[in-house]
A = this chain, B = another copy of it.
Amino acid sequence: MEFSSKLLENAVNEVSRLPGIGKRTALRLVLHLLKQPKDNTTFLSEALLHLRSDVETCEKCHNISDTILCAICKNTKRNPDIICVVEDIRDVMAIESTSQYNGVYHVLGGKISPIEGIGPQNLQIESLVRKVAEGEAKELIFALSSTMEGDTTNFYIYKQIEKFDITTSTIARGISVGDELEYADEVTLGRSIVNRIPFEQSIRG
């Protein structure tokens, strides 16, 4: 791609460094900004700069926050005895949107993944184990994604905390609400039969 302007080339190169955005898409986005009022570009750039320089990580649960302690950890109506272990802030947002959970979170910041060079020391595992060791919680809910890396991470944490007096659980895997059985994959269907629940419990939910 040959550019008639160094400024344009530079902007396109920077935008195309974002994941999933190629040179052509980057050019489309940058040309869009050029056609819009100048303020749009200013607001966009400043929002990114402010976020990057001023955002905090909650010192307790490592969630992204504007303050040293996030709104969930600060909230006295939440139950601090139950900690839901998740990968990143998107999982917190997903669980919060269900309005079904009243405990707190612990954001690991990723999963153990040797291929991507992410080991336990790159994640917020030590602080989680410390919380458990100090008796801060009564139950840990593992809510990592159901992949090789997620299972490895679950197991690694479990091994570190099994000696402590704490209940551990994982979120239920099964057929999605509204799905037809015939289209479900065997592993999910198998798990949902093995981990069946009393009917009375299902109609309460």
Chain A positions within 8 Å of B, measured between CB atoms, are: 1-8, 10-11, 13-15, 17-21, 25, 27-34, 38, 40-56, 58, 63-66, 70-72, 88-90, 92-93, 96-97
Contacts and interface: CB of A to CB of B under 8 A. Distances in A.
Contacts of A55: 5, 7-8, 34
Contact of A44 (B15, B27, B64, B66): B15
A5 B97 contact: no
Task: Kindly name the residue among A18, A53, A72 whose own CB sees the greatest number of chain B CB atoms within 10 A.
Answer: A18
A188 B32 CA distance: 30
A132 to B, nearest CB: 23
Number of this chain's copies in the assembly equals 2
Nearest to A27: B90
B8 A33 contact: no
A42 B49 contact: yes
Contacts of A14: 43-44, 47-48
Contacts of A46: 45
Contacts of A97: 1-2
A4 B51 contact: no
A5 B90 contact: no
